[in-house]
């Protein structure tokens, strides 16, 4: 009988730990459904390396997450939807670029704030964008000698 009580107690502890990890993971990823962020959009020539869930950073600090990525069939550009924390006001003349964490690191969206006195509202579009740069393309240019000096 004591064996069944011990097994039940250990099972309860394991389930509580699993629930804790699940809660922690959902808050990190942003699944929790909180409404303390607003949506913005941007259109890129190349969004290579960006997926749903990719970080959006400003000054190296995570301020949001990519929530959608689709091809615009009229412009043949990648339309990226992302959220930004409501405590962060993004000026309407800001730019956004696909940046890399390093040679072997992943990519993220970097917001470069502008100097406008007016901020983007919910659903606003950042028009000044810089797509990803392919490392392979850069290496091929270097090897072929097509680079300018």
Lowest mean pLDDT among 28-37, 48-57, 65-74, 89-98: 28-37
> pLDDT class for 8, splitting at 50, 70, 90?
confident
Render the burial of 53-91: b for 16+ CB within 10 Å, e for the rest.
Answer: ebbbbbeeeebbbbbebeeeeeeebbbbebbbbeebebb
Q: Average the pLDDT over 78-92 and give the result.
A: 93
> pLDDT class for 29, splitting at 50, 70, 90?
low
pLDDT of residue 52: 93
**Does the pTM exceed 0.85?**
no
pLDDT at residue 60 is higher than 60: yes
């Amino acid at each position: 009988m004591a064996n069944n009580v011990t097994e039940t107690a250990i099972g309860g502890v394991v389930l509580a730990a699993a629930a804790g990890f699940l809660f922690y993971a959902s808050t990190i990823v942003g699944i929790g459904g909180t409404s303390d962020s607003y949506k913005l959009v941007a259109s890129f020539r190349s969004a290579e390396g960006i997926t749903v869930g990719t970080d959006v950073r400003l000054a190296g600090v995570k301020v949001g997450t990519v929530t959608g990525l689709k091809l615009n069939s009229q412009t043949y550009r990648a339309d990226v939807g992302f959220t930004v924390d409501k405590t962060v006001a993004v000026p309407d003349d800001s730019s956004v670029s696909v940046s890399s964490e390093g040679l072997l690191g992943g990519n993220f969206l970097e917001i470069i704030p502008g100097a406008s006195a007016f901020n983007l509202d919910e659903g606003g579009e950042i028009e000044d964008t810089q797509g990803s740069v392919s490392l392979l393309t850069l290496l091929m240019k270097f090897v072929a000698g097509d680079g300018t000096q």
